[in-house]
Structure formats: structure tokens, C-alpha cells
Amino acid sequence: MKFILATLPVLVAAHSAVWKVTFDGTTYPARDARMDPELGAKRAEWHFKNVQNFPWMAVRDVEDASITCGLDATPPDLSAKARAGANVTVQWSGIIRMHLGPVLTYLGRLPTPDTKPLDISFFKINEAGFDKARRKWANEDLIEHGTADTFQLPSDIKPGTYVLRTELLALHGNRMNYLPQDGYSGPQFYTHCFNVEILGNGNVEPAGVKFPGGYKRDEPGVKFNLYKSEKDWDGYIIPGPPKYAGKYEAPTGEPPKVEPKDTGLFPPAFQAKYEAYKAKEDEYAIASSNMVNGVDPTGKEMAKGSASIATYFQGRTKVQAALKEEYKNLLAEAKALGIAPK
């Protein structure tokens, strides 16, 4: 228990989250669960509740409703815009190398603004698992590409509002005796959902799956045991339905023009202060992930026997105290400007 308590801040910071998503050339900030709700930020990402102060706690049971879009998910304030066939880039935060596993992305048509996530049918549009030729898992590949995942929207689907559901699946907690009720064992799903209005002339409405339901507890790709034998990695099967096999052609026409406020950005002066504060908070998360991956805060590979993560972050207490005061000032200004609720 002492080990868990001592390393809890590091584990929290090291968990994966989405920082931003670029739809068809326009970037939309993701929801920062640590402060965006209190600051009154408007996002294209679905709202979800924190779990015991874990801003991005993993879902471990595929039959839990949180697997869809997070705990008690509610609709976002904004919707991104993109042409059918356009590229999307999901920028993740720090990713732990030992969190071996696939990355998957789905789309689900949103029939009405108040449709619940559990009632949406999702079809897969992107997936990556274990690359046998390069001997790399998808999360390792993301690390090598700056934790950015770029893929294409289908070009033949019917225009309208969709929910883009993207996730990392970490398999490192799996054991042969996995049970959903086991505290820290089992698969770890890091899931995020965004609304996007897709423009185009397509007419296809792909069949999909609902979550929970899209994965099974005993599905090979969910219960996969990394530690049984690395030879088995070659046979890893990505969970869920196959990727939608429709058209993925280049988009037509000009990209949609989106005003900064419609992406979720604050007024320029306050946005600059928000980004400066967020960068200081994120520095901790980035350093946590890097050090777990064996890279020191300067970006160099750590030598064996070097200072532990816990030792490195002992000096974080004073920094955190200063950040709390800075955040109080930021929140007060947001309220004065009418951005945050008073």
C-alpha cells in the first residue's frame, strides 16, 4: 500500500489523455478534466466525471457503461467540422511504453443532440495493433511519432453529426486469472469522444456496434496476456468489429472555415494565460511519462541506477503550491470576465 500511495501522483500524471484533435486542418482543444469544467471552457469533447481525482482514469471492464465515452458522459458544448475523407489527428499526452496495446477509433452517427452514448452505433475507421515486421505495438509507434495518431475519415458516409470515439487499450495489466473486479488488473481502456459535423455528399450509413457490447470480456484481443510468450504477439487480434471497408477518398471542396471561439479557444489574452498555466501542469505529466519510459527530463536516455521517479518529483511540492495560487488567480479572472460561472 505504501508503494501505491507514494507513486499515486506519478500514476495519475502518467495516464494517457487527449490534448487536442485536428479535424480537416482546424485544431480543437480536448477537455482538460483538471480545470476546464470550473473555468467554463467549451469543448467539442464529451463531458465526463472524474473518478477519485483521476482525471483520465482507465476503464477496466468492457461491460461498464463508462467504456463508451467516460463516466456519466454528457454532450459537449461544441461540434467540430470536417469534410468527408479529410484527415484527423489525435494528439495524445504522454504515453507509457509499457502500456503495450492497440489504438482504435470509431465513428457513430448522432441522430439527435440528446441521444445517449449507449444508444449510438459505432463503426471502426482506424486501428493499429502489433506490427510483426517492425516488432512494435501501436502505443510504441505513437511515441515515436510524437504521440500523434493521424487517420482519414470515410468519404462515402452520409453527412451529419457524428461522435468520434478514440481509445488506447493497454494490455500490461492482463493476467491469465483476470477478473473485472480485481483492483489494478485487467485491460485498461483510455477512451475519448468528440462531436464532429461531417460535410459531404455520401449516402452510406454503416452498420455499427454499441458500447458496452462492442467488446467481450473473453475476447482474445481484450484478455490477451502479454507475459505468456512474446511469440504470441504475432497472433494478436485487435478487438471489436473490422474496420469499415467503404471509401476513403480525398475530400472535395475547400476545408470549412471555423472561428477560433467555435473551436473552444478563450479570448486571446485569457487563452495565453490558460496555455501558460496548462503548460506548467502538463510538464509534470510529460516528465512522468518520459521517466517511466527511461528518458530523463532533458530528453536523454536515463542510465541504470539513476534517480528514481519518486526522488525526482520530491521537489514538486513547492512548484505545486505556486501553481495552486496561480490557478486561483486564473479562476478569479475567468469569473470576472464572465467566462467561468460565479
Structural contact between residues 236 and 136, judged by C-beta atoms closer than 8 angstroms: no
Q: Of 91-105, 118-132, 293-307, 321-335, where does mean pLDDT reach its minimum?
A: 293-307
pLDDT band at 7 (very low <50, low <70, confident <90, very high): very low
Q: Give residue-wise pLDDT tens across range 150-187.
A: 999 999 999 999 999 999 999 998 875 555 555 557 89
Q: Is 281 exposed, middle or buried (0-12, 13-18, 19+ CB in 10 A)?
A: middle
Structural contact between residues 236 and 100, judged by C-beta atoms closer than 8 angstroms: no
Full set of structural domains in the chain with CATH: 15-263 (2.70.50.70), 268-336 (no CATH)
Q: Give residue-wise pLDDT tens across range 89-130.
A: 999 987 888 889 999 999 999 999 999 999 999 999 999 999
Tell me the torsion sign for CA atoms 250, 255, 261, 262: negative
pLDDT number for residue 296: 54
CA 140 to the chain's CA centroid: 15
Residues 132 and 114: their CA atoms lie apart, in Å, by: 43
Q: Among 121, 123, 115, 192, which residue's Cα sits nearest to residue 154? A: 123
For residue 80, count other CB atoms closer than 10 A to its CB: 29
Q: Give residue-wise pLDDT tens across range 186-241.
A: 899 999 999 999 999 999 999 999 999 999 999 999 999 998 889 999 999 999 99
Q: Among 21, 89, 24, which residue's Cα sits nearest to residue 252? A: 24
Tell me the torsion sign for CA atoms 209, 239, 181, 309: negative
Structural contact between residues 155 and 251, judged by C-beta atoms closer than 8 angstroms: yes
Q: Give residue-wise pLDDT tens across range 234-284.
A: 999 999 999 999 999 999 999 999 999 999 999 999 999 999 999 988 877
Structural contact between residues 328 and 307, judged by C-beta atoms closer than 8 angstroms: no
Residues 334 and 109: their CA atoms lie apart, in Å, by: 34
Cell matching residue 223:
484478455
Percent of the chain past pLDDT 70, that is, above it, reads 81
